[in-house]
Amino acid sequence: MTEPSDAPSFRLSYVPGVTPGKWARIWGERRPHDPLELVPATTGEAVELVRTGAVDAGLVRLPIDRTGLHAIPLYTETTVAVVGKEHLLTAVEEAAVEDLADELVLHPQDDTLDWPDGRPGRPADITPATTAEAVELVAAGVGVLLVPQSLARLHHRRDLTYRPLTDAPTSGVVLTWPDAENSDLMEEFIGIVRGRTVNSTRTPRREGAPASGGPAPANKKAVRNRPARRGTRRR
């Protein structure tokens, strides 16, 4: 029998705001002896890690360069405007892009929103490097920030709030992995994110897995958070 310490691991990168916890829990139930390593990264870093083989797959936001990659759509996020608690936008439950025409809009360098008709509002002289830095500027009264709703929640502050933008581009989250023959572990994770049961013909059955699809005893060591590691992983 293969010892847990000798079992291959599945490395999954994920971008800020994306929460892989549900899928990680199911993985732990189905693959208690195959560790799932979670690697936080930006979208650009996550795609590079997938391309170089440093991770097996990534949970990223579109748009990305899909050359040589598979991509399964998972869900779509609403775009929101992050503003101070005293901002005029807080008088409404939701807003439109035209409501930001006179606003100073911050566009951090890690912004992945795709604005086909150009970004709304007046561009700020400051270009923050990250969303976190942009949030700090909004709190200082510098401008407003447009981000996927999950990022607004991730960077929540008591002095800030957000409002959905009804006509803004949305943000799609996908699972991406190399366009090559899938490993057994890759097929397992694809099955998990697609909602396949243990009994599905395309979901590999593992020794000791419950035939009914019910949870197996979870291994607390099955999921580990590790920093991004570049380069090709050892097979």
**What is the pLDDT confidence band of residue 142, given thresholds at 50, 70 and 90?**
very high
Res 200 pLDDT > 90: no
- What's the mean pLDDT in 182-201? 88
**What is the pLDDT confidence band of residue 206, given thresholds at 50, 70 and 90?**
low
Comparing 186 with 5, the larger pLDDT belongs to 186
Q: Tokens 């990022």 identify what position?
A: 151
Q: Tokens 């989250």 identify what position?
A: 173
Establish whether the linkage from the previous residue to 63 is cis, with ω within 30° of 0.
yes
Res 6 pLDDT > 70: no
Q: Which range (150-159, 172-181, 226-235) has the least confidence?
A: 226-235
Comparing 102 with 201, the larger pLDDT belongs to 102
What is the number of helices (H) and of strands (E) in the chain?
5, 11
- What's the mean pLDDT in 7-14? 88
Q: Which domains does the chain possess? A: 4-74+172-225 (3.40.190.10), 79-169 (3.40.190.10)
Res 2 pLDDT > 60: no
Res 33 pLDDT > 80: yes
Res 46 pLDDT > 90: yes
| Contacts of 177 by beta carbon, 8 Å cutoff, 6+ apart | 50, 56, 57, 58, 69, 70, 186
Q: What is the DSSP letter of 95?
A: B
Q: Roughly what angle, to the nearest 10 degrees, separates helices 184-193 and 21-30? A: 130
Q: Could you read off the pLDDT of 210-226 as tens digits, one per residue?
A: 443 444 444 444 455 55
